[in-house]
Structure 1
Amino acid sequence: MKGTGILAEINYELNGILEKKREQFVKLQRTEKSSQQLLTDLSHDVRTPLASLVGHLESLDSQTAKEKEEYIHVAYRKALDLQELIDMLFQWFKLASHEQLYQMKVYDINELTKEIIIEHIPVFEKKQISFLENIPEGEWFIKLDRVAYARIIYNLLSNAVKHGQCTLIKVEIQKNKDQVLIFISNNGIAIPNDKISLIFDRLYKCDAATSCKKKLRFDKGGCQNLLVK
């Protein structure tokens, strides 16, 4: 009986190890698939503004002075689009390779969050999105990297504006003992329940059947990495 108990225990441990390895393999497959999707999306998203930029520049010789001015303005906007894509790609690779360095300092989280939000007010007004904030007036000091924190808030707010199809965005900060809780919510289309566990995966985006737009985005994976670090 004693030998049987030992075998059962070994069998139980082996099953646990196998299950853990299966989970790791699934995660690895998901990462590899995301990386392949990255290359596909990057090729498409970079090619589009680049082709437009080249086309406008090639047409300059045959345009009038006024048309040239308009074409140069369009070409400049396309160049900015390219710059944004390249910057996002560079940031993602830095996060993925753990090369990101953080400057941890003490900040008033309430005041810092308000400063970040103020930058988005013109965007909310342009998109006719109402905004509510419930941020305490007192000073709550915590240690964080200002740039990383600003990027997290910026990405969440930008995603709500671009992809949330919402008319209201709310930011709230609460304190729970020694923790500070930050809530960012909107009244847009909810994420499907079966997709919630995936939203912080690198490069994950909703498929064509959902409300998300088909666009290359690194920010969600970036948010997870920034939060973990």
Structure 2
Amino acid sequence: MTETKTKHVEMLAKQIVELQERLREAEEKAEEMTRLKSSLLTNMSHEIRTPLTSMLAHAAILESRLDDENLEAVRAIKRAGARLTETLNSVLTLAQLDGQFLQPSPEDLDLVELVTETVDSLRPQADDKELALYVSAQQDELPTHCDPRCMRRILVNLIENAVKFTDHGEIEVAVSTDDDDIIIEVRDTGAGISEDFIHDMFEEFTQESTGLTRTHEGSGLGLAITKRLVEAMDGAIDVDSEKDRGTTFKVRLPWIDACAPQDSNDETCDLAAMLAKSARCGSSQTLPSMSVLLVEDNRDIRRVLSQLLEALGDVVTCSDAETALRAAGEREFDVVIMDISLPRMDGVQALQKLRTMNGYQDIPVIAMTGHALPGDRERFLEAGFTDYIGKPFPPSALLKKLRKRLCS
């Protein structure tokens, strides 16, 4: 009897060891799959954003040079590029949310300012449909502590959704507070949502109009992502709608008070005005031209950015880090724009070597990269870059970065 019990215990112990081994193997496999998924997201983001950057930058140059007869073709390219960028961002954001790679990074900000800036950036879409788009705020400033990227994405999704489904009337973005929460409401006078669809509207890849006869374009991801971002920020989202009467989305987020951001006086330093003044004035008043070292391995992007930056002064382009470091050793540049994914030596390694060179300890170095997933900006700033811009970007965004560095 004792021998039977001993054998039974030994058998159970063996089974436990086998189960523990299987569990360890499963955990290792899950970790490897997570690593591969993260790598795939990073590579996919970079490989798509790089050609998009070239396409949109070339379109911007053509738009400034073509006659009216050919302008619409270029603007169609820009619209298609913007739509592709939005679809890419939606798919990658959803994948990050699924893999729990995306975690909010809160910081102090003025919510009214962020909402106003976001609405202003989307106003051309409303103007194209002759819709009124405006902000109504309970107070002029609303200092809070939240993730600006998540908040901006929530606003963009809701406002673009309102513009898409509104043909006449107006869209209001209201900002208010109660005792504990910040409340953001996006109200439109559009088509409204049927009662049957409201229960499914936050599901992924879901649209009220589907199939070959669907009336609106889109991936069906915007509202699903919005809901998950709101929940990631410990908030809630509700919808109130009536068919053919309009829709109101209400977002509630915890109100974490913060000090109001200080005025940067950015409006006192306008790059275009400074360059114009430099061209007009005599030698005693002429502003020093900016010398730019542009490091980018994509030939098309090098060429188009070089054309865009010519107005700033002297632009030297390099296709790899080694050549760029040699150029920096021969002269001192006012600013360096550095791609991250470069052959043989990446942008971070190049930055580390650049900072050891005479005269480059404090020179602004801007990371310009297709690595534009949440967390990438913080990672490159921690690595020592002065600023960051993710591909694709409108030329005005890069000029704004340079203006900021020139003014400082």
Q: TM-score, normalised by structure 2?
A: 0.36
Shift of 1:211: 7.9
1:95 pairs with 2:97: yes
1:142 aligned residue: 144
Q: Which amino acid aligns with 2:205?
A: L
Structure 2 Cα separation of the partners of residues 143 and 195 of structure 1 = 34
Deviation string 1:34-78 (CA, Å, 9 cap, x unpaired) is xxxxxxxxxxxxxxxxxxxxxxxxxxxxxxxxxxx99x9599555
Structure 2 Cα separation of the partners of residues 109 and 83 of structure 1 = 25
Structure 1 runs of 4+ with >6 Å offset: none
1:60 aligned residue: none
For structure 2, the residue ranges without an aligned partner over 5 or more in a row are 1-69, 233-408
Structure 2 Cα separation of the partners of residues 74 and 169 of structure 1 = 25
Which of 209, 214, 218 is equivalent to 1:215? 218
Aligned residues: 163
Return closer, same or farther for 1:212/1:141 CA change in 2, 3 Å cut-off.
farther
Return closer, same or farther for 1:138/1:187 CA change in 2, 3 Å cut-off.
same
1:198 pairs with 2:216: no
1:225 aligned residue: 228
Structure 2 Cα separation of the partners of residues 107 and 100 of structure 1 = 20
Structure 1 Cα separation of the partners of residues 225 and 116 of structure 2 = 22
Shift of 1:220: 0.9
- Equivalent position SS for 1:120: helix
- Equivalent position SS for 1:156: helix
Return closer, same or farther for 1:140/1:213 CA change in 2, 3 Å cut-off.
same
Return closer, same or farther for 1:142/1:213 CA change in 2, 3 Å cut-off.
same
Greater fraction helix: 1
Instruction: Within 5 Å, give how 1:1-229 maps onto structure 2.
Output: 77=78, 81-208=83-210, 213-229=216-232
Structure 2 Cα separation of the partners of residues 169 and 100 of structure 1 = 30
Structure 2 Cα separation of the partners of residues 83 and 95 of structure 1 = 18
Q: TM-score, normalised by structure 1?
A: 0.61
The worse-fitting range, judged by mean Cα deviation, of 146-155 and 207-216 is 207-216
RMSD: 3.1
Identity %: 19
Shift of 1:214: 4.8
Structure 1 Cα separation of the partners of residues 76 and 130 of structure 2 = 28
Kindly indicate whether the alpha-carbon contact (under 8 Å) linking 2:162 and 2:171 is maintained by their aligned counterparts in 1.
Answer: yes
Structure 2 Cα separation of the partners of residues 103 and 163 of structure 1 = 32
Structure with higher Rg: it is 2
